[in-house]
Structures are given as C-alpha cells and as structure tokens.
Amino acid sequence: MDKLLLTVTDVKNYIYCPRVVYYHYFLPIRPATFKMEEGKRAGERTEELEERRSLRAYGLRDGERHFNIDLQSSRLALIGKLDMAITQRHEVIPVEFKNTYSRPGLNHKYQLTAYALLCEEHFQKPARRGFIYLIPTKKPVEIPFTPETRRFTVQLLNRIRRMLDREQIPPPTRSRGRCRDCEFRRWCWDLD
C-alpha cells in the first residue's frame, strides 16, 4: 500500500495544532487569513533582496542560493516548496523565511528539519543545519539537525498519516492563544 503524500506544511501545522492538518484534508475549503497573505508578500520581497545580499548574515563566505525549490521524496512520501537553499561543496543548508519577530517555535524547527531531509535527497549532500530567516529583523536563526530531530520528524509523518487514516478529529492545541487567529476556529465546536 502506498503512503499518503504529505506536505512539509503538514508537519509545521501538526505541531502547531493537529486540527489544522485534519481540517485541511477533510474540509473542502482552505480559508486564508490576513497574516497568511502578508507573510507570502513579505517572503516574496525578501527573496528579491536576498538575491543581492552576501551570505555573511549566515556566517558563510561562499555558496550558491536556490530559490523556491520544489522538493519531493517518494521514500518519505513528502513534498514541499522551500524558500531558499544554500549549497556549498559538502553541504546543503535549507532556509525558510518567516514574517515574525518571535524566535522560531518547535513547529518551525520541525518544518525546517523536514526540508533538510528533502534537500539531502534532492542535492545529494548532507544538511547539518538550516536557518529560519526572521524577515522584520533581517536575522537568521540557526537550527541544527540532530539524529533525534530527524527521527522525530519521520515519526510525525507517521502520526499524521495515522490521524488521517482514522478520520478522527484530534484534540485541539493546548496553547489556546493560537486559536484566536486560526482560519479553522469556527469549526472547533469545543472551544470557548
């Protein structure tokens, strides 16, 4: 039996709130929020600027940038579109642009780790670290990829597939502040 094809965004969303992934697959619509649209525009502007910048902000002297890379792995049954990858002779470094002042959350860490797994297959080079580039502050935050984060990311893919296979709505996030701006809030009948 073939595995259900998941997206890297599913990994990020599942950690943020598993219901977002559930609704994404089982509701016929995907509402867009202002924050989502603004994040997309900010990412596009950052890409334009990034093409002209040096790699010094990443602590690198050299490397080649690749933008908006469509990545896929049949082994992992996973796809995604990475904002940027920096390739060096012996390494590939995934970079995700985020329109936030906040430090990257666990959802961003595992999203980036999923991209690292895809980049390794695509570029045939190891990914030892990646960066979350905070657009408002123009600061990259380095994220190391450990054996534990890699294993956990693969486990997350299996958890997501089990949830979707069972078609049973998961519990909401424990961080109820996240619900305030959620595009699926109106479908969560058990939230106050």
Is the pLDDT at 1 greater than 60? The verdict is: no
What value does the mean pLDDT take over residues 127-154? 97
Tokens read off for 79: 């796809």
- The whole-angstrom separation of Cα 118 and Cα 142 is 18
Q: pLDDT tens digit string along 65-120?
A: 999 999 999 999 999 999 999 999 999 999 999 999 999 999 999 999 999 999 99
Domains present along the chain, CATH in parentheses:
6-187 (3.90.320.10)
Give this prediction's pTM: 0.91
DSSP secondary structure string for all residues of 82-151:
EEEEEEETTEEEEEEEE--SSPP-HHHHHHHHHHHHHHHHHHSS---EEEEEETTTTEEEEEE--HHHHH
How does the average pLDDT of the chain come out, rounded? 90
